[in-house]
Amino acid sequence: MTVKDLKSQFLEYMEIEKNRSPKTIENYNHYLTRFISFAKVENPRDITEETIRKYRLTLNRTTDERGKPLKKVTQNYHVIALRSFLKYLAKRDIRVVPAEKIELGKQEEREVVFLESSELERFLRAPQGETLSNLRDRAILETLFSTGLRVSELCSLDQDDIDLKRGEFSVRGKGSKLRMVFLSEQSKTAISSYLDKRQDADEALFIRVPRNERFEKYEELRLTPRSVQRIVKKYAIAAGIVGKKVSPHSLRHSFATDLLRNGADIRSVQALLGHSSITTTQIYTHVTDKQLREIHQKFHGKTKTAQ
């Protein structure tokens, strides 16, 4: 059986046995097709450590259409897909390079963009007015900050998913993992005001609003992640937040940072964010470490008398 045939079976295995999302399958297919095209091998036994080393070197030297090199995290996505494929082949008793011999490259530290308290206050107040669009936007911003949802998770919500009385609901995140998220009083009020104003029958929680608010011409009203990104950017500008690239993910970062700064333990934050690994959540400790350092410098040793 050829490498290409085995790749197809591996992707089916990822879909059925591992229950990976269509987007993950698509990405793995892209990464493995790239490797197979580079390696030019028919038999998986012909994949050598040297071939993999040269492939990683090529990835490191690859540039995009703007002449920028591939980010380390993107290079690692390619390597993760290859390691998973090799593990699958080994599981089928096909002799291949052991996956554990392939180490991930050291990544750049992820940039954590979050809003400070004063910025958050201005930002969440930015949608003014009682039109359906303004009420929707206020509900979106409050919900993102209250729950720490990913933008894709927010857009997939239906009205029936939300229990406003209990102020909690479950969401299916990456890897189809289910987790509970919780609404603040402000977000419950904002969502309730928005839903009271709606007159359409669409099941989606957050919808696009035609200028004349006549919905009968539109079959699909559900907001897309791109639309939410534009909404967030619009109100960041309106709130006078400059020097920061504010996105829906910035509100997820703000959610996590707010919890940690107020004493939440990192394992609880991991669960609330839906991270499968604590390592992912630990990017936020850089933020809280900086705060602790500032507190230490401000308050430590102030009672000592001058010698």
Q: How many Å apart are CA 92 and CA 111, to the nearest integer?
A: 40
CATH at residue 151: 1.10.443.10
Structural domain range at position 232:
117-295
CATH at residue 93: 1.10.150
- Write down which residue in 42, 66, 101 finishes a domain: 101
Whole-model pTM? 0.71
- Write down which residue in 68, 101, 134 finishes a domain: 101
Q: Provide the annotated active-site residues.
A: 150, 174, 249, 252, 275, 284
Indicate whether 97 and 121 sit together in one domain. Answer: no
SS (H, E, C) the chain: CCHHHHHHHHHHHHHHCCCCCHHHHHHHHHHHHHHHHHHCCCCHHHCCHHHHHHHHHHHHHCECCCCCECCHHHHHHHHHHHHHHHHHHHHCCCCCCCHHHCCCCCCCCCCCCCCCHHHHHHHHHCCCCCCHHHHHHHHHHHHHHHHCCCHHHHHCCEHHHCECCCCEEEEECHHHCEEEEECCHHHHHHHHHHHHHCCCCCCECCECCCCCCCCCCCCCCECCHHHHHHHHHHHHHHCCCCCCCCCHHHHHHHHHHHHHHCCCCHHHHHHHHCCCCHHHHHHHHHHHHHHHHHHHHHHCCCCCCCC
Indicate whether 25 and 53 sit together in one domain. Answer: yes
Digit-by-digit pLDDT tens for the chain (307 residues) are 899 999 999 999 999 988 888 888 999 999 999 999 999 999 998 999 999 999 999 999 988 778 888 888 889 999 999 999 999 999 999 999 999 999 887 766 667 888 989 999 999 999 999 999 999 999 999 999 999 999 999 999 999 999 999 999 999 887 778 899 999 999 999 999 999 999 888 999 999 987 776 666 666 789 999 999 999 999 999 999 988 999 999 999 999 989 988 888 888 989 899 888 887 888 787 666 666 666 666 766 666 544 4
According to the model, what pLDDT value does residue 261 have? 85
* Total number of domains constituting the chain: 2
